């Protein structure tokens, strides 16, 4: 079935490019509530909402997305146009991405997904894309379920829970090293299932050598490609959704255990939750529920009249050390 509706979350630069295109190109302006600009092309309607959401609908929506939106607005290939610009995306490879790095509460989850030509086409039909463009947790979990069914066992998940994360950080003192370790384990685990996979694509978060050095004997035979905005690759996009779903499920488990909502991010609500569970169960509970190297930890403890000494060795990051490691906060 030919898909006739596409939704994208555009950043400010992409919104400006789309607005200029619709206002100055060969399009008929239309009036749609809550939009920044809307217009029609033959057999296609395009609406850019004030929220930054772009909705493309119509009989020829897919063609407009493929040959206009992607190259001129998104400036990256994601559907049919991709086969022309980057035929490698249809060749067997795996993609790796993580979720939870910027969240004070909960784990980091790293996912690795394998694709080949047939799986790439199937995932494209499912509208698999970077999880950050999916604003609904419910939709993320639903798409992740569909991806798992499509991939079978050709994916892997590595969950670094708060306790393990805090132990690793106490030893490594660097978030990128923890990520490199987790990415390497996810690649190694998936290679157990698809040992002939020749290439892995990783969203760039630090020097490539960190992941390379963390790989063990089996993983060192694979071609490692680490690049910015790797989520444009369908395998990385699938991994990003699987990782986000894994994070959301882990957060739900924490909520079930502690009988309190665990907010995402590092907001005031996250601080309030941390304060409440400390009041109920003592400061050491942070080591089981939060990433304690975050500056947020100091804010929470200070409000309760405490400092990092109450967390023991795993939670001790002095103010001087924090000044040297705050770049790892997110």
- Structural domain boundaries of the chain? 5-75, 88-253, 259-328
Has residue 247 got a pLDDT over 70? yes
88-253, CATH topology level: Nucleotidyltransferase; domain 5 (3.30.420)
> What whole-number distance in Å separates Cα of residue 20 and Cα of residue 99?
34
Query: pLDDT for 267-281, tens place per residue?
Result: 999 999 999 999 999
Token pair 């200029």: residue: 20
Query: pLDDT for 184-241, tens place per residue?
Result: 999 999 999 999 999 999 988 877 788 888 887 777 789 999 887 788 789 999 999 9
Q: Which CATH architecture has domain 5-75?
A: 2-Layer Sandwich (3.30)
Has residue 179 got a pLDDT over 90? yes
pLDDT for position 322: 37
Token reading at 40: 């029609």
pTM of the model: 0.73
Query: pLDDT for 21-72, tens place per residue?
Result: 999 888 999 999 999 999 999 899 999 999 999 999 999 998 898 878 987 8
Which residues are 100's β-sheet partners?
none
Query: pLDDT for 122-138, tens place per residue?
Result: 998 887 887 877 878 99
Q: How far is CA 218 from the centre of its chain?
A: 26
């Amino acid at each position: 079935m030919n898909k006739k509706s596409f939704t994208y979350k555009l950043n400010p630069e992409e919104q400006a490019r789309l607005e200029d295109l619709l206002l100055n190109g060969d399009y008929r302006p239309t009036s749609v509530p809550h939009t920044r600009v809307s217009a029609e092309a033959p057999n296609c309607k395009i609406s850019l909402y004030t929220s930054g959401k772009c909705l493309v609908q119509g009989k020829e929506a897919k063609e407009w997305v493929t040959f206009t939106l992607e190259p001129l607005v998104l400036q990256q290939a994601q559907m049919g146009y991709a086969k022309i610009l980057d035929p490698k995306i249809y060749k067997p490879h795996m993609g790796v991405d993580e979720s939870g790095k910027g969240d004070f509460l909960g784990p980091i989850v790293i996912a690795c997904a394998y694709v080949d030509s047939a799986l790439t086409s199937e995932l494209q039909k499912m509208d698999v894309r970077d999880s950050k463009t999916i604003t609904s947790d419910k939709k993320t979990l639903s798409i992740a379920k569909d991806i798992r069914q499509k991939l079978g066992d050709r994916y892997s998940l590595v969950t670094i829970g708060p306790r393990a994360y805090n132990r690793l950080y106490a030893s490594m003192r660097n978030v990128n090293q923890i990520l490199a370790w987790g990415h390497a384990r996810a690649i190694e685990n998936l290679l157990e299932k698809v040992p002939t996979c020749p290439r892995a694509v990783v969203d760039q978060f630090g020097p490539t050598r960190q992941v390379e050095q963390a790989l063990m004997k089996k993983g060192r035979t694979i071609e490692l490609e680490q690049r910015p905005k790797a989520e444009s690759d369908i395998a990385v996009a699938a991994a990003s959704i699987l990782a986000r779903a894994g994070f959301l499920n882990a957060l739900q488990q924490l909520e079930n255990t502690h009988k309190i909502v665990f907010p995402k991010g590092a907001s005031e609500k996250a601080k309030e939750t941390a304060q409440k569970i400390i009041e109920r169960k003592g400061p050491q509970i942070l080591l089981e529920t939060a990433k304690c190297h975050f500056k947020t930890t100091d804010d929470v403890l200070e409000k309760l009249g405490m400092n990092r000494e109450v967390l023991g060795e795993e939670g001790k990051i002095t103010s001087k050390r924090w000044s040297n490691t705050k770049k790892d906060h997110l």
